[in-house]
Structure 1
């Protein structure tokens, strides 16, 4: 990644109109000044080549698979609203973009496009780069951007964490700073919540715990997900960790008995926390049941045979868990018995 910078004489003076900034934005501006940046700089990037971008996309295959599914759902509503969706990797390199074609054209003039980097060290205070530093949702509107040339933007970015708690990427919704779009922050938060939920579910290898304060939210993306392997917490969604007041650092280090009272049992139940006065409604199951439920509910589509085989294998494991009883497995997953026969190409007895 290369860039050129046109520097004015005054390197550190910000326009007087920008003196009132949120604390998070002020901290970012201080970092930008520490980098020796000036708001009047004009940044010209040399984005990744097509082959370099393809390699970067391949290295983030799982992130893109889940994120693009959410982006495709949001895109129709954004394409007519003057907004765009951007997916960046953990280093701030934009991997994919969708949305309003007119605004995309304007965004490309400031390198808001696949292959370009939006790290703070390159593009100053911006939602993607600052979300990477802060590890939380960031909104940067208009004059809150450090560089003058980005002041026409209103950006909402949410970091995406892998099931093991590592920063995997950032999802961003950007649009014009002169158009009121209060829903953007909610949309990007919910999309990331869904991505992390599905990613955690797909990573399960042993015991899976769905939990929420209200039982009606179980089996939805609003629930928290915890995965245990031999009793040790092996993966978790950000929401699952937040429910318990835990940080990602506990993944791989804490045992079931460190979190919950009593030994794990399968099925719907109430779980009480070990170290605090708290109760959650939960559904505890084997990972094969959860993965089979996801596979059975997906819309059939053309794709690599290996992916289809994985879905079929997940269903077979669910049937095996019920000692070959297809009807029992179907009831456990909450799907119709015929789904198994259709997917496994079997005829009912």
Structure 2
């Protein structure tokens, strides 16, 4: 059985057919040819020490507390189904996990434990390492794993990106149940992807507390499209999805750029009249239509306010 698994992988990797060029085969190829791993190999996994895990977790910053709460919610939903939930850093090191005590011995034996390296370089094709490489939600179901020793598992990983769109780690649900139906991994994949998106959203909003956050129009399952703007509607931040959809690089945020230049296909020249009209309307709305109060808020006289209202054909 072990030899057959290895033969299947080698046959797919060296195949010249179209079927041999799938995303799964590409990961097997990296494992075999780039990392030099042997699918039949059996070796003892070494755990990173507790200090290394703590330091890795500290690199998450504020995202760590958000992820911790999300892991609790996710485990409450799937823990009774024989699953564990793990969080890794951007290198594939498991820095936190949730599991039922009765399942801990099995998961520890399988390496789903704090301090284990699940990068592709260490474990070949798997739901964590392959997710890190491809930076998208990934399901590696049983015999899709590179190592034969891992084929009892089904692993569903989703990447986590920080408020600057950088890869921070992976949120993963793993199950070692042999009686999983074909639809169950898909449900788990959707659950972990939704949880990862929620973490990213909460972290982004928290990172730009005090600023306005705008939700983009993109309706996909690839993550939140959010933008942060200052009081003058100048762009100061965006999630990874927003950056990818609108061609925003790190350099974009080093210079001032109006959000309308990003979100509008047509980019008309500045309309000072429209800007002034909007400011007057906001001031009047804030003052509940009281012109005197609106004028004070704007730092102008009541007479000046009335002249501008008349010029712009507004109603006070």
The equivalent residue for 1:228 is 229
Trace 1:1-349 onto structure 2 (pairs within 5 A). 13-14=7-8, 23-34=22-33, 35-176=35-176, 178=178, 179-180=180-181, 181=184, 182-204=186-208, 207-213=211-217, 224-228=225-229, 233-241=235-243, 244-246=245-247, 249=250, 252=253, 255-257=256-258, 260=260, 273-274=264-265
* 2:84 and 2:175 in contact (8 A); partners too: yes
**Residues 133 and 81 of structure 1, relative CA distance in 2, 3 Å threshold:** same
Relative distance call for 1:272 and 1:92 in structure 2 (3 A) is closer
Distance (whole Å) between structure 2 residues aligned to residue 48 and residue 151 of structure 1 = 24
Counterparts in 2 of 1:102 and 1:33: CA distance versus 1, 3 Å? same
Q: Aligned pair in 2 of structure 1 residues 22, 192: CA closer, same or farther (>3 Å)?
A: farther
Q: By percentage of residues, which structure has more helix?
A: 2
Instruction: String of CA shifts for 1:217-268, please: whole Å, max 9, x gaps.
Output: 9xxxx963211357653322245446x44466565257543x525xxxxxxx
Shift of residue 275 of structure 1? 5.6
Q: Which runs of 5+ in 2 are unaligned?
A: 14-18, 268-296, 298-316
Shift of 1:70: 0.6
Distance 1:65 1:146 in 2: 33
User: Any idea what SS the aligned residue of 2:113 has?
Assistant: coil
Partner of 1:298: none
Consecutive unaligned residues of structure 1, counting only runs of 5 or more, are 1-7, 262-270, 277-322, 324-349
Radius of gyration: which is bigger? 2
| Change in CA separation of 1:223 and 1:95 when aligned onto 2, cut-off 3 Å | closer
CA-to-partner distance for each residue in 1:248-306, whole Å, 9 max, x for gaps? 6565257543x525xxxxxxxxx952369xxxxxxxxxxxxxxxxxxxxxxxxxxxxxx
SS in 2 for 1:87: strand
Q: CA deviation at 1:22?
A: 7.8
SS at match of 2:122: helix
1:57 CA displacement: 2.3
Q: Deviations over 1:48-73 (max 9, x none)?
A: 12233223223334232111111111
1:280 counterpart residue number? none
TM-score by length of 1: 0.63
What is the root-mean-square deviation in Å for CA atoms of aligned residues?
3.4
Distance 1:61 1:78, change over 3 A: same
- How many pairs does the alignment contain? 253
**Post-superposition offset of 1:98:** 0.6
Structure 2 CA distance for partners of 1:118 and 1:245, relative to 1, 3 Å:
same
Deviation at 1:14, TM superposition (A): 3.9
Contact 1:139 1:157 in 2 (8 A): yes
3-state DSSP of counterpart to 1:252: helix
Call closer, same or farther: CA 1:17–1:29 in 2, change over 3 Å: closer
CA distance in 2, matches of 1:251, 1:175: 42
- How much has 1:142 moved relative to structure 2? 0.8
* TM-score for the superposition, normalised by structure 2: 0.69
1:164 deviates by 0.7
Aligned residue for 1:165, secondary structure, equals coil
| Contact 1:82 1:102 (C-alpha < 8 Å) held by counterparts | no
SS in 1 for 2:63: helix
